[in-house]
Structure 1
Amino acid sequence: MRSPPSTSAPAHVDLLFTSALPPHATLSPDTLARLRTLVASHVSAPATSGSYLLQQSRDRKGKRPQRFSTSLEDLDDHIGGGFDSGEIVEVTGPRRSGRTALALYIVLLHLLLHDDKRAALLDTTGSFDAFRCLAILRDVLVPKMYALGGSFAGEDGAEPSAEDLAISVLDRLAVSRVAKSGDALDVLAAEVRSDEKDEVLDMVVVDSLDTLVGGEALASGSAQANANLIAFMRRLATLARSKSAPLTVITVTSLGTPAAKGSHTAPIPPNLPQQPPPLSSLPHPIPLKPALGSTFAYLVDISLVVSPAEPLFGPDDGRDRGFVEVARNKRGETGGMVEFKLEKGVRFEQVD
């Protein structure tokens, strides 16, 4: 006689049961089946069509795609040279881990290297700091480009000062304060259609996405919140993958704190740090919960997990240091990890 399966085994499938509602008496079986299909299409992760993948393959055949740097050389290598136009990228991690700094470096370096491009930043929390961006450009990125032999000389042959060049870059970054997902999509659509500017919009940063789409409701398992998230991401993907004006979209999301006391989570041994790093390749006693749930992972092309180093090395050796890991990559391998240093929230660089 077989013994019953152990109830302590880890679950591989999560099922959500809700109270059943009987169909209306006047609702025909055909109409009910059609409504069920419609609901199912809005609460599941969308698939990528074979024709779209075929067109991507044809577009790239015989030519090297132009990719945008993450600002960290080894991280670029882990994802095949950087980001592609039309990709949706997630930068996730605990608060104060360096995730926003990484997103800012990506967009500011891109604008510095491509003076014919512009970008949009959707600020959902009111935390955007223009002086921080100015310092990143003036004190780090511009001097680094000059040190590498780069030139930003105008028609007169004179090189601009680091501050003047930084200000000209920020002129091409449109920052919008948005609080609703519908407003965010309207802003992006208006930016894409804008004919008043000579530069082409090709990069968007959303900081942070879980605030915009209601991360708390998603974390609680709300079916309506998941449906809203998927509807938003589908419209965002439609904008990003436009054939005439594709966008690289960088979304900043949060990794929540470990489950509260009393929940079904293994206790933390007393000799381990209270907040272990979220990197999937490192051993830690309890995983940190993504703010947008597991479904969101299938809606992005690349997911980068940012983690502070203090839980590994302690408050002294781990200060101002962190890690970035490639947790998901639809077009390549995952698991590559890069260590970085972040000083005063401004100087962000790879540690060799």
Structure 2
Amino acid sequence: MNKQMRSKTSGHPVAWAASIALTLGSSAVSYAAESPDDATGMTAYMRLDNDVFAGTDRGYSNGTEFGFVSPTMQSFQDQRLSGATRWLNGKLEWLQPDGYQYNNIVMTLGQGIFTPSDWRLETPDPNDRPYAGVLLLGVTYNGRDENSMRSTTLNVGMVGPSALAQETQELVHDLLGGERFAGWDHQLRDEPVFRLMQQRLHKRTMIKPTWMSDVIFHYGGALGNLTTFVNAGAEVRIGGWIPDNFGSAPALPVAENTAPTIGPLYSDTVRLHGFVALDVRYVVHDITLDGNTFKDSASVDREDLVADLGVGVAAHWGNWKIAFARYFRTREFRGQDGEAELGSITIRRAI
């Protein structure tokens, strides 16, 4: 289900967030247009998470993220970047990896929608997940060598009505003939949110005459009033050909497949590979479950240990990449009605 974002006025958070993201993206696109066949040029992606892929519409109901990935570069002051991006990089130098030959920067705009199990209740069950919407801008700095990578992300945004989760959901449900959820008046209240996240990744690759495989280990954590956690996991990939990056699975907190590229990725033929990914998190805080930080709001008793298991397939053809995964998530709060399932798809294109 493709749930689009919209804004009501030019001063709305969605409007200024989209404006910033598009400005940063368009400046990088102008460089990429000069070298359309350069594998280290600009790429753009869209990721869609939705539990409708698993036949439900509750919990983490929908997430949409748009991202622009810079060319691979040695310095974050590379002259191919726009002046605005170099200015931002100067202010955020403390986030950037040091000592890596291959680096890039990723700009993102995303929205998440969270709903309880029973959409019919005007007064939601206090023991079920609260209604919540999250709207985030993000900047990620990646640095890698052949077999290791460091990724650091800063997210800032809003939780609450200003995130437009209700409007997004109702727009899509109206277009597709779905029911309106009755309890949005009880969603979490407006609150600025931030998250600082870092992940470290290491991989081992096996190459045979007719196939290849790799395993990518990751560990790290996040700190902020949006989420605070530590995590670790791994992804195993196998196929006739596997791209030289650090994972194919969408929707895991490990840099969204945006590793700096070293070699060419263009392919005249369709190349497929499968993957299995696991992420385990010890969660200290999650505002969508714990409720607002400084205001009274709905909340539930959060589970501390949460795991995601994803199984999927990825395809490369020309300048396109598509990856789809089916995720199985353990219970996130006490009293939750079963484990959650959702699907996630990422579409990327070199531009």
User: Do both share a fold (TM > 0.5)?
Assistant: no
Q: Rg larger in 1 or in 2?
A: 1
Report the TM-score, using the length of structure 1 for normalisation: 0.29
The structure whose residues are more often strand, as a share, is 2
